Chains A and B, each alone.
Chain A
């Protein structure tokens, strides 16, 4: 295998063993690309120290560029990040801080997933997914969002000092942009009085001080920022920048590595570039004065590859310059290559030390306190602030509209049945409705649970009781079932419904949320109490398809029949207590006669169906399916044989006649009614045929 092959293969991602690289270098002589592939291989497999040692070796032979170093650094960082994620739990997130800047929420805005950010952070970061839950942000534009009203109130109440600090910091940032550095420092210093724990403030001041050349002070601020938020990547970046100014390259390199493993966003390019620069400088220093020379060569040779000793006994190898910047002559270079052929990669104690320090600092950080934790003051709050303006109770499952208003989830859903505007500010919240949002606003929920835990428990219990009440619908004569008044539903027959009326939207939602997935369907009747029939059929919900404006197509199928005992109302829709109907038992002495009648009517029904006109028949088959087969012991079923309902559904009947079949609990009488209807229908058909026949 040639060296070029190796390089090619290694860039293709083929993994070689350590031995292969070492043998290649031994047999084919030094090759910068093989060395780099080797360093990459070591780095991505977790041998960071050895990888850096190979790099160090390269620096002793070649003059390297940062461009060539960058890919190796990339792989090392990739390994370190993966390793650090694997071996430690993600940093504890403070729900009261912005997920972007970790600072106090300034002008908080709540995303569709329920997580809140500073307005400025959202405008700046151009997020595609939420930093907290990783959920995709659909049709998201921060400019379309308004500040969350309740969170703003709470932040101002609990962390007013920090908010003042943020305001001064913003002014400081403006000054920095205008190059008025002294004034920026003064503003930051003033802000520190308000918010001594504001890591952003300390980090910004560190940056400006660094720009002003006050590296010692910059370092102090960076360290203070790290103290406040030990898991915050940028603190280490500031520290590294200050250290570089102070010429402490090794420390800077370690700080940059910390920064790289902590950085949350995946845009690491600038960090990697800084690390590459720092490493380049570091390796240059480490190898300065240690470029390969004759003496060194022999020693290393003896140690690494004893069998090659005779090949370098040539004393004519020229002296190699110590200076890293000196221009190597072509001869020198060739010479160095040939001598390095036999040179082993040696341990570099300084590199070991640096990596040990990095590991030590990382482990220490993990054990360290979490720094400053933003906490709510459980004594300073106003319970009324947590009241839902719709139900006047404490918020339960608080949701936030794009216009920044907070309501109980179910309260807002109910308003959206009636109007697509926010109940408070009347802004259109069609987007909220169209996306069927329901994500709880985490900040508000956690804040409530922190400051008023017992009230939250009570409120949850209330909600659960209400849900249980709904779930018990129809369980016995005391529990009302919801009634949909629209049409006649027939057992076993499907009944698709277009639900658009607000009250029925609510009803269907409740059927789904409580898990009953059924409701009663009754025929409208002007002369009956409350305007609907006293008999009906339960409809089981098979599925619900929602449209973006909140309407829905509900696919249902008829099940049990019922007789209404009392009628009532709930939140605008009808309810009733009912007795479920089952067919009367067929006595043994009547069974024979009933079965004979059944068979006759079944026969008549199927021959009638056969006789009807083909397009109508096709339509019936398409909608209701073929005539169901007769069940074994159909007389024991609560609704009798299925085909009878099928025939009732397809016959051209007035719904009041259908109702009369529905309420009948004697199979025999139902059969008689159907026989009578069939007779009537068939004679009408015959009359029509005669009339239509040519004379």
Chain B
């Protein structure tokens, strides 16, 4: 019989990952606006900083859920990003600094692309997991 809870959880994980992907795409769009001088760095950083902590919390909650529902492989998959976020929190460097933004723009865009790629991989993994759950029944 189909385990409805598991199914819904998997779909939830997939949607949550989509949200993370979209937020990263949005961040990248903000960066390209900045490079095109269509947005002021102060506004851009205020905008972005409002989303950065929720993103980290969201990701941490999702990973915790994997751990508590016994999906150890999915949890392990998320460990690298968790570690990166933990590093950012511990060094108090989550927020982007408008005064330094032009110096760090290259580095930050690279990080965002890497994270985007990571979320994409996660998306495939969750999708596979979802299909596997369905097929397995």
Chains A and B bind each other: no
